[in-house]
Structure 1
Amino acid sequence: MSEWNLNDGIEDVDDEEKVSFTGRDGTIYLIDADISKNEEHFFMCLSCIEEDLLKGILANSRDMVSVVFYNTKNSPPPSAQLTDNEDTNIISAENCATFIPLKPLSKNLIQYFKNFRQSSNFFNFNETHGISNGSSFSEALWLCSRLIIRCNYRLHRSRIILFTNNELPYMNGTKEQNDALIRAKDLLDNKIDVDLVPLVDEFNMDAFYMEFLSAASGIPPDELRLDSPATQREHMLHRHPRRNNRKSCLRHINFELADSVSLSCNIYSLTRKARKPNAINMLRENKEIVLAKRSYVVEQQSAEDPEEVVQREVLPGQMFKGQMICGKEILFSSDEMKKMKEIQDVGLRLLGFKPLAALKPRWMIKHCLFLYPSEKKINGSTKVFRALWEKCLEKEKYALCTLTMRRLTSPKYVALVPQTIASGGNDGFCIVFLPVETNIGVIDALVKPLPDVTPEQQSLSELLCKKLRFKYSPENFPNPALNLFYKRLEETVYDDEEMEDVIDATLPDLGRQDEQLVKYNILERFFMEFGTEDVVTSGKRGAGGQGDGTRAKTSKKDLSESQIEEAIRNGRIEAVTVPQIKDFIRSRNAHAPNGAKQALFEFSQRLID
């Protein structure tokens, strides 16, 4: 977050100085054609690009991408499948080839690149493109910069991802090397980032590319920090980190300090839950999108013929909700229902102040938000916000407020906790949601008295936990539901039925657990100490423990029809199961209704009565 400025909002800010977090990203994948000599490295390079394309279309399908080869013998034009009437003037350079022009991400573009990677000879690459003897690295940089500059869209971020195995494209001190460094400074002036991804692990960055990347980024060589080639390739093949949220304000609200004193603020989310897109219905045969329309119809008797029933469509404005009060039905329209839900206007309202020591860590029931001033609606908000922030820090207080994030929602009690950069955050207020009575529960394990255990049993339990412990890292546990969803989505869109299965990393490694238990003979000692029956001493899992993270279900004892009838007659719903109730209903020549267990049980009781 930027530093405080007391004059924010007083003087106008030029449009060039405003920072925008929206728009398109432009990415050019620059590939050294010399990599095609090693088919394994070339396939790895194309795989990294394909995964990055799939990540990009899931993040923002408006992003622009292009694929350019350099050090080619020929300079063929792009395929007719990827060009249209607007691409008649394709930019080209000597010993360079624009394989995919700078275009928005689309299904056809990714499908074309997938076909190129999966083809046996890569679309006869050696004949159509070939490999030149010299190096055209400088010309390729000029070509990439021209593609970005001549783009018809305003790009928020532009970058070039370079794939090569040649650590020294030009000899030191030559004119060509100086031209490449000048091109790097031009990229810096045009705000084009450069990322280098070598396809070999042993790559000498100091030979040329350390100086080149330093000139392209404006960072001195001794301060430039680069990941290893293996880490960079793994990052591109790993699809999850790219699925992040765009940097944008979550909500613009007014902070009401008193009846006549307000300031405008922005709310930012410090974390965001990954969600699946909304479901879309498609036809199974041709995958066309099915549009659904909902309408409400009422049945009424015809005015001409009382025995005839006619249907009439009801518009949303003609629908009411009713409530019986004192024997009379009171009707409420949809607008009246909305007004009843609006307890407080959208925004923050100050209630008072409390000492920071009174705020308990256990009160944080959900992730926090961040509050920062804004001059968008009310001038001078930054000054008032800073005065409040400084006084809260000085007196070690937090502001108790009510927060209504959006219309038709109930207000929440929140605590505005002042924080600073020195404390590990940003200058501003951290919004902590406070619990109410419904959020406070009682854990039975803390209420019940603890069992008495011997020192031997306690040490054995500690040993069991220690041997089953493993190193935790959030990056090792991707969301299995999202992984499966995007895999199935990719299979549906690209008709790829040979994709790898999704591995659920959240399930325990049962093989490693069994190995540890058998190695230290923990199970037998554990069961001998605690006296548990049905001991499994061989380390093998029973039914339901075959690595799928599930447990075998135990069914209730089979009951005769007379026992089921007696249980239903006496109202003992816990003694019977849903299948037993349905079998009993069928035995009475009745149709079992759809519903929960309670509804089926009541229906069976009526059959007996």
Structure 2
Amino acid sequence: MAFEWSNEEESYVPVESPGRDALIVLIDVRRSIFDLSDDPSKTWFQTCIDMLVRYLKSKVIANDNSLLGVCFFGTKQVKNINSLDHVYELQEIGYPSARRIKQLTELVSPKFNFEREFGSMASTDQVSLSNALWHCSLAFANAGLKKQDTQTIWILTNSDDPSAGNADERNRIHEQFKNQLELHRTLNLFHMPPSSTSSFDLSSFYHTMFYDASNATAPDTADGLAKQAAFAIHTYEDMMEESLRKRYRKRRLATLRFSITKTVKLSVEVYALRVRQMKPSPVHLDAETNVPLQSVTKWLCNHTGSFLTSDQINTYLPYGGHRVYLTKDDMVQIKRFDAAGVQLLGFEPTSVLRLHENVRPPYFLFPTDEDIAGSSAAFVALHRSMTTKDKVAVCRFSMRDNSPPRVAALLAQDEVNDDQGQVQPMGFQVIFLPFLDDIRPLRAPQQQATSTQVDAACQVIRSLTLSTMPSFQNPELQKHYASIQALALDEDVLAFDDKDDSTLPDAAGFARKKVVAAVEAFKEACGGDELHKESVKRKVRPDHAYVEPLRTKAYSGAVQC
């Protein structure tokens, strides 16, 4: 069997198993949640359910292994593990599915009567949020989660104070909050405007447990436990945007040693911030049982027809017209170049980086103290120094022991925040540089343009310059997933229309007088109507036109067959 090199550029399998994400969404369903939102056609409850439906669809599309549970608090009906008051478990922790999406969609149907099915408490009634948090603890404990799985709780409400001033309930809520953090769970508060005021007063109750996410820093509570993030939701778009930000958890690809010298090493995590999304591969099922089929490859001997075992299969490399056979140990040693890690080679000015020499999507480095204590402090010091001096670090980069080393430049990236929180993290972008063999000199004849043609082209560019860079959705993926969604949910209409293709040119924008005039001027400067003339192609003789003369020459002996 011929030796084949693995292509790390085309496909990469993460080296660390990140575990699953388990999320429980708590929705305060007292009557104020059914007030109209900024959209007169939707209530805040409908906005919450729409967000959950979109969240579930995204998880189904991504073939994610995340778990989700939905629970109401503030209901008259009771349904949970321990029959806790005011708590109704709508969906227990489980994988996203079409059945769950249908169940949520029915809640916002005009025919659905929420009061009859669940019962909604008055907005001023005291609701037992402590019972809801207690239920979350029981649900996580019974979900069979592993140590590496993350556990998160979202609280959706438009009530400033769920305790209604009751001191005992406040103490119970704080105790449950403390217990959740001690179990390494994350809590997020999504608060919407109350019906009686224009803004949500975080200081009335939740400020002791949550901080405003629009602030860059998160202060600690009095007992030393870190406060959790609270997100202000003012519009329907805010709800969708915040859920989208938290929809995907960045999973590290590996933890590597960053060697400054032989005696100075840092511990860093490697992330892929940009990953090309592909359509999932189809899964073959047994026609009778619908059980996924597992493919098994077996090798047959050409001479005997018997199955070959792994020790009966040799690997070779052609060399000088001969086969050089390799053992498994030989193959391991050939593939191994060095231990995985990042080795500093030196520093260069940032100006040496050229955009056209970025040969593959970059990775991202972030410090961690899990492996080497003090790595974060040293990492930040190096980062600030490189930013001040406008330098990049040239490194030898190997993701795994058996992956070939690459030369990369570490470009310092500063942290950027907006009113909703962090937009860009602090760290190093790993810009992969080409080897000398990767550069191909291109000697193509250059055409000289006149100053009139250049000015006309500049006018076209100015007339079509975008004010902001839009976000494009992949129309192929959107249509593919919309078709699957329609089949799974028995929908008659696709959620994607060809008119929604954002990659198509803006017909209205190109029809503007300024753009039309600039394009016509550019056309005239570059040849006018001559641009529309098709090049004259040489007529291709049909195959039979060659066959007959060749047959005649073969019969006459002029051509030896």
Could you say whether these structures have the same fold, taking a TM-score greater than 0.5 normalized by the shorter chain as the test? Answer: yes
How large is the RMSD of aligned CA atoms in angstroms?
Answer: 5.0
Equivalent in the alignment of 1:214: 207
CA distance in 1 between counterparts of 2:371 and 2:47 reads: 51
In 1, are the aligned partners of 2:337 and 2:401 still within 8 Å (CA)? no
Equivalent in the alignment of 1:269: 271
> What pairs with 1:478-517 in structure 2 (closer than 5 Å)?
478-491=473-486, 493-496=488-491, 498-501=493-496, 505-516=501-512
In 2, are the aligned partners of 1:29 and 1:68 still within 8 Å (CA)? yes
In 1, are the aligned partners of 2:189 and 2:231 still within 8 Å (CA)? no
Which one-letter code corresponds to 1:235 in the other structure?
E
Q: Which of the numbers 10, 23, 27 marks the counterpart of 1:26?
A: 23
Deviation at 1:515, TM superposition (A): 1.7
Q: Which of the numbers 297, 306, 312 marks the counterpart of 1:312?
A: 306
Q: Which of the numbers 243, 250, 264 marks the counterpart of 1:246?
A: 250
Secondary structure in 1 matching 2:512: helix
Equivalent in the alignment of 1:98: 88
Instruction: Summarize the Cα distance change of 1:134–1:466 in structure 2 as closer, same or farther, 3 Å threshold.
Output: closer
Secondary structure in 1 matching 2:465: coil
Deviation at 1:75, TM superposition (A): 0.6
> Any idea what the Cα deviations from partners look like across 1:381-425, whole Å, max 9, x if unmatched?
789989988998999876544222213322112345678879x99
Equivalent in the alignment of 1:452: 450
CA distance in 1 between counterparts of 2:78 and 2:51 reads: 23
Deviation at 1:519, TM superposition (A): 7.4
Gap regions ≥5 residues in structure 1:
1-19, 78-86, 301-309, 537-552, 570-587, 589-606
> What pairs with 1:6-45 in structure 2 (closer than 5 Å)?
24-32=21-29, 34=31, 40-41=42-43, 43-45=46-48
User: Does 2:44 match 1:48?
Assistant: no
User: Does 2:124 match 1:127?
Assistant: no
Which one-letter code corresponds to 1:255 in the other structure?
S
Q: Which of the numbers 320, 330, 342 marks the counterpart of 2:324?
A: 330
Which one-letter code corresponds to 2:353 in the other structure?
K
Q: Which of the numbers 229, 232, 245 marks the counterpart of 1:226?
A: 232
Deviation at 1:292, TM superposition (A): 1.5
Instruction: Summarize the Cα distance change of 1:219–1:512 in structure 2 as closer, same or farther, 3 Å threshold.
Output: closer
Relative to total residues, which structure has the larger helix share, 1 or 2? Answer: 1
Gap regions ≥5 residues in structure 2:
1-16, 182-186, 217-229, 417-422, 552-558
In 2, are the aligned partners of 1:418 and 1:430 still within 8 Å (CA)? yes
Deviation at 1:27, TM superposition (A): 2.5
In 1, are the aligned partners of 2:55 and 2:247 still within 8 Å (CA)? no
Identity between Structure 1 and Structure 2 (%): 14
> Any idea what the Cα deviations from partners look like across 1:240-298, whole Å, max 9, x if unmatched?
x455343536333473844xx47463242362314447524234967542222111112
Secondary structure in 1 matching 2:339: coil
Equivalent in the alignment of 1:435: 434
User: Does 2:105 match 1:110?
Assistant: no
Secondary structure in 2 matching 1:194: strand
Deviation at 1:315, TM superposition (A): 2.3
In 2, are the aligned partners of 1:30 and 1:161 still within 8 Å (CA)? yes
Which one-letter code corresponds to 1:193 in the other structure?
N
Equivalent in the alignment of 2:219: none
In 2, are the aligned partners of 1:198 and 1:229 still within 8 Å (CA)? no
In 1, are the aligned partners of 2:192 and 2:233 still within 8 Å (CA)? no
The answer to which of 312-321 and 226-235 deviates more is 226-235
Deviation at 1:531, TM superposition (A): 3.2
CA distance in 1 between counterparts of 2:165 and 2:130 reads: 13
User: Does 2:131 match 1:143?
Assistant: yes
Which one-letter code corresponds to 2:542 in the other structure?
E
In 2, are the aligned partners of 1:160 and 1:194 still within 8 Å (CA)? yes
Which one-letter code corresponds to 2:49 in the other structure?
L
Which one-letter code corresponds to 1:403 in the other structure?
F
Instruction: Summarize the Cα distance change of 1:514–1:63 in structure 2 as closer, same or farther, 3 Å threshold.
Output: same
TM-score w.r.t. the length of structure 2 is 0.69
In 1, are the aligned partners of 2:256 and 2:342 still within 8 Å (CA)? no
Deviation at 1:30, TM superposition (A): 0.8
Equivalent in the alignment of 2:293: 290
Give the greater-gyration-radius structure (CA). Answer: 1
In 2, are the aligned partners of 1:255 and 1:349 still within 8 Å (CA)? yes
CA distance in 1 between counterparts of 2:269 and 2:160 reads: 49
Instruction: Summarize the Cα distance change of 1:262–1:177 in structure 2 as closer, same or farther, 3 Å threshold.
Output: closer
Instruction: Summarize the Cα distance change of 1:358–1:470 in structure 2 as closer, same or farther, 3 Å threshold.
Output: closer
Instruction: Summarize the Cα distance change of 1:393–1:563 in structure 2 as closer, same or farther, 3 Å threshold.
Output: same
Deviation at 1:477, TM superposition (A): 1.4
Which one-letter code corresponds to 2:57 in the other structure?
L
Equivalent in the alignment of 2:349: 356
CA distance in 1 between counterparts of 2:77 and 2:434 reads: 66
Equivalent in the alignment of 1:279: 281
CA distance in 1 between counterparts of 2:206 and 2:385 reads: 46
Aligned length: 496
The answer to which of 463-472 and 357-366 deviates more is 357-366
CA distance in 2 between counterparts of 1:146 and 1:511 reads: 56
In 1, are the aligned partners of 2:53 and 2:101 still within 8 Å (CA)? no
Which one-letter code corresponds to 2:235 in the other structure?
P
> What pairs with 1:190-209 in structure 2 (closer than 5 Å)?
190-191=180-181, 192-197=187-192, 204-205=198-199, 208=201
Secondary structure in 2 matching 1:55: helix
In 1, are the aligned partners of 2:316 and 2:324 still within 8 Å (CA)? yes
CA distance in 2 between counterparts of 1:389 and 1:235 reads: 31
Deviation at 1:193, TM superposition (A): 2.7
Greater RCO, 1 or 2 (C-alpha within 8 Å, sep 6+): 2
